Chain A
Amino acid sequence: MYLVAEFREMESIVRAIQRLKEVGMTAADLDVFSNEPVEFYRGVLDRPSRMSVVAVTGAIANGSLMTGFVYFAQHNYALNTGGMPVFSLWGTGVITYEMTMLGAVLSTFGWFLWESGLIRKRDKSAPVPAVPPGSMCLRVRCTDEQAPGAAELLERSGALGVERKGAS
């Protein structure tokens, strides 16, 4: 099941997250909803990312693949180059460079869609709170047994209201 709590103050929501983590909740069980980006201090609700690694991998992969393709195409129908090399990295370096960058762009975008959960299979039963302007909502995934304790913790931390949603 889920608990949804509304907060107005940054300190209150940080306090709530820290207390919930102390009683065994993990970052995977917690989601903060807001109309604008909310940045927490390191250690509060960290979301580690592999986006940079994916971007570099995508860049290298696409750059190598396309350079390989150009090499193949140049040899597949070799032009008369008058003794010069049929394939030259200097001559096709621009294509290698652009395709490397294209790989970085596409892999970054693809990973953004995946990591943000926009194209991943999501739990359809998870409630998405309608956040009033200026507020933040904390959604907590918990079991029926954990719910009363968690709700009390949220209220003590300064939540304006706590709602129970969905069955476990």
Chain B
Amino acid sequence: MAITPELLPYSKIREDLFRPLSGASATYILCVLAALAVVVTGGVAWGIQIHDGMGVTGLQRPVFWGFYIVNFVFWIGISHAGTLISAILRLTDAGWRKPVTRAAEAITVFALMIGGMFPIIHLGRSWLFYWLIPYPNERLLWPNFRSPLLWDLTAILTYVTGSVIYLYLPLIPDMAQLAEHNTPWRRVLYRTLSLGWTGSDREWHTLERAMKLMACIILPIAVSVHTVVAWDFSMAIAPMWHSTIFGPYFVVGAIFSGIAALLLVMGSLRKLLHLELYLTRHHFNNLSKLLLLMSLLWFYFTFAEHLTVWYGNEPSEMAVFRTHVTGAFAPYFWFMVVCNFVIPLVLMGIRRLRTITSAMITSVGVLMGMWLERYIIVVPTLGNPRLPAAAGTLYGPTWIEIAITAATFAAMILLYLLFSKLFPIIAVWEFKPHPAEED
């Protein structure tokens, strides 16, 4: 019979989960350097874009939204992995959530940081991004509060703030413990961040109350953020964008890709940090079932969206529909369907095939599929505007956009690697069974 971590002595749990924080293997250093190199390359590419202007990208009339907006939507979607999933599991008091929540919450914070960069990169004159912020100025100009771009700003600001606090709160007790025996600079870091936590019942009660309340608050925020991102599209009267189901469709897609990202991160950490005892098959199995459920929901929405367009037979909508299904974007479209529906249905649906390895393979497929989904939503519609006179050449990304895109994936890996060396990736204090659970 497998040992559940709750049955292990507390000293063993502490040792196992604090161990990855000290020392760094050659593999770890190599991964950090490789990720850093890709991030630097992306930074150089962005520097060239700032210096030479947006002409270095493949963006041109009529496709003004390309890789950057695709990446923006993709990363905001990935951010739904953490806070949303963690909040749902916390509120439903799912016992198996304990080793999963912090890894998930960290994904949210990093994905939001990365996703939030894209509207700034896409601006072209990135140094003027502060014009989005309402501040008193001599020309008495204010941002247009009815613009979905400003909605994005407020939604992402709220979500980032909430997610950082939601990640930080349960870290406090662990940091207080880490401050006890550590190297001098780490002691200073953990002592400062733990705010003088003593472990009194007053502190524990307040922390648990705050976590429950934050879980309740963060859920509607997470749903609203991706709905607002969907409204960036559906508020425009563009073919195959002006849809009432775009809000829920995007939220479903976001949770779907979020779960895939979480499975991938958990699988990697399990191997890299030797956490096999804590991240068990049980956790992967439960998350795999959730992934399957989201895959079915995603397929339902995609089917409903395309069926209504086909049945309506409106010429401008049909022009986009044809590019999806049989035209230039058909290979991407059908590959997306395979990645997001066929693979999860087979590998996650058949119990015998549902293993940790298959969950990782499916997750990679889903992430590719969901990135393609955003690409298929953004580019074909812009390439087939309602006015034929506005139609132009097909969009193709340049190396600048590809380098910046690759840098964001590397940045995610880099941030995660650094985080896992500074903070325990699993909440140590949450492993102790509460009296209520013992009852």
Contact = CB atoms under 8 A, between A and B. Distances in A.
Interface of A: 10, 31-40, 45, 47, 49, 51-52, 55, 69-70, 73-74, 76-77, 79, 88, 91-92, 94-95, 97-99, 101-102, 104-106, 108-109, 111-113, 115-119, 128, 131, 133-134, 139
Given A36-B204, A99-B154, 6 more contacts: A35-B429, A36-B10, A39-B435, A51-B206, A91-B145, A112-B206
A111 to B, nearest CB: 8
Contacts of A101: 158, 162, 217, 220-221, 224
Nearest to A71: B145
B10 A133 contact: yes
A10 B197 CA distance: 22
Contact of B158 (A38, A51, A98): A98
B162 A52 contact: no
A47 B202 contact: yes
23 contacts: A31-B202, A32-B200, A32-B201, A33-B199, A34-B201, A37-B205, A38-B435, A45-B201, A49-B209, A51-B209, A91-B146, A94-B155, A95-B145, A98-B151, A98-B158, A101-B162, A101-B217, A102-B162, A105-B158, A105-B217, A106-B161, A113-B195, A115-B202
Interface of B: 10-11, 14, 134, 140-142, 144-146, 150-151, 154-155, 157-158, 161-162, 165, 169, 177, 195-210, 213-214, 217-218, 220-221, 224, 228, 231, 429, 432, 434-436
B201 A97 contact: no
Nearest 10 Cβ contacts at the A-B interface: A36-B432, A116-B206, A112-B210, A73-B142, A32-B201, A91-B146, A98-B154, A37-B204, A94-B151, A102-B158
Contacts of A76: 140, 142
A105 B161 contact: yes
A26 to B, nearest CB: 14
B142 A55 contact: no
A31 B200 contact: yes
Contacts of B210: 51, 108-109, 111-112
Contacts, number: 148
B169 A112 contact: yes
Nearest to A108: B213
A116 B207 contact: yes
A128 B14 CA distance: 21
Given A95-B145, A101-B217, A35 B206 contact: no
Contact of B205 (A33, A47, A94, A104): A47
Contact of A70 (B145, B198, B220, B224): B145
A108 B217 contact: yes
| Residue of A74, A76, A79, A109 contacting most chain B CB atoms (<10 Å) | A109
A51 B213 contact: yes
A105 B165 contact: yes
Contacts of B142: 73-74, 76-77
A106 B343 CA distance: 42
A151 B371 CA distance: 66
B217 A69 contact: no
Given A77-B141, A77-B142, A128 B198 contact: yes
B154 A94 contact: yes
B214 A117 contact: no
Contacts of A33: 198-201
Nearest to B165: A109
A105 to B, nearest CB: 4
A117 B158 contact: no
Given A49-B205, A76-B140, A77-B140, A35 B145 contact: no
A92 B434 contact: no
Contacts of A94: 151, 154-155, 224, 228, 231
B202 A116 contact: yes
B220 A73 contact: no
